Amino acid sequence: MPDIVPFTTGPVREKKVISLGFFRTGSNSLQEALNILGYRDVFHSSAMARSPEKWVGLAAAADANIACLPSYTGRTYTREDWDVYFGPCEALTDVTPFAEPLLNAYPEARVILIHRDFDAWSESFLNTLVRPSSEGVLAWLSGNFMEPMLGMYISQTAWKLYMGLFGVCDLRKTTDRTIMRAGYDRHYNNVRRMVPPERLLELDLKDLDWEPVCKFLGKEIPNVPFPRLNEGRVFRNEYRRLHFLAILGGTLKLVSFIGLAGGVLMASIWFGRQRGYMP
């Protein structure tokens, strides 16, 4: 796998805002809010949903920065490395598995930390992300066989990120509520420890709105409602779409290969008989 694969290209810009709430804590809504406030090229993983090639870069970043993974390379990214990956992005959301290296790389960034009730969050996280990506025959076939056959590593990269959240090397452990609770608390405490209070805005999801966000960022409140996006439905639909396309594409590739192999075999038999090599 390449060392660093850029998510996007363009001039390197200052990273002004980093959102480090766990997945399923309003990151898609916050991304849209930051877009409205004028931040350029705000990153969110949903931008990669229909661009499988971009997941190669995310997988490389996971292997380099998440120590619990069996594929860990120990190549922790520096600021220059992250600049290659995120380049023109002025704000980053949905990057929780990389919280510590990003905070070390961009100590000047303002940090937004959104949390929610753990029980509600864990159920949403499992039902929206972990289970649709890993449970069931279609998900298993897609992630382990069909996607790699097509050069796609979306499911496997997502699994790495989920394991990284909780510091485990077995995807099955990401559904253990005790492990989830420990990882959840550890992450939020680490962010509080690393970020000075004057650069940290911590909010409950139910309080996410223009007033606290704009006050923290020094922005005027826009004359539009705060965006409320149903990212859960988007992710579930995208996983279904991904699995369908991977199964379809992999099946077509297998059929083509079998057809080609059969044609080569028949031609070889014909040639052998013509030359008297076969009865």
Task: Please report which confidence band the pLDDT of residue 58 belongs to, taking 50, 70 and 90 as the band edges.
Answer: confident
For the chain, percent of residues with pLDDT exceeding 90: 56
Instruction: State whether the Cα torsion 176-49-41-116 is positive or negative.
Output: negative
Question: Residue 187 pLDDT > 60, yes or no?
Answer: yes
* Residue showing tokens 């608390």: 185
Q: Domain-by-domain residue ranges, the chain?
A: 17-274
Alpha helix segments (H runs only) across the chain: 27-36, 54-65, 79-86, 99-105, 118-125, 131-134, 137-141, 147-149, 154-166, 177-194, 210-217, 231-274
pTM assigned to the model: 0.81
Mention the CATH class of domain 17-274: alpha beta
Instruction: Please write the tens of the pLDDT for every residue from 226-242.
Output: 998 865 555 555 555 55
Instruction: Please write the tens of the pLDDT for every residue from 84-95.
Output: 889 999 999 999
Give yes or no for a contact between 64 and 77, defined as CB atoms under 8 angstroms apart. yes
Tokens at residue 115, please?
Answer: 């949390």
Choice between 152 and 231, residue whose per-residue pLDDT is larger: 152
